[in-house]
Amino acid sequence: MSFIRFVRDVISETRALQRSLASTSREINP
């Protein structure tokens, strides 16, 4: 597993996590 592939995987995971957190905060604070 190359380093670049690892970095891209982490970035995609971070974006997915931010999307889930944003949707959760919208449900809490409409």
**Residue 16 vs residues 1, 9, 21, 29: alpha-carbon distances, Å:** 21, 11, 9, 20
Give the tens place of pLDDT for each residue, 1-30.
699 999 999 999 999 999 999 988 887 766
Q: Give pLDDT, residue 30.
A: 62
Q: Give pLDDT, residue 15.
A: 97
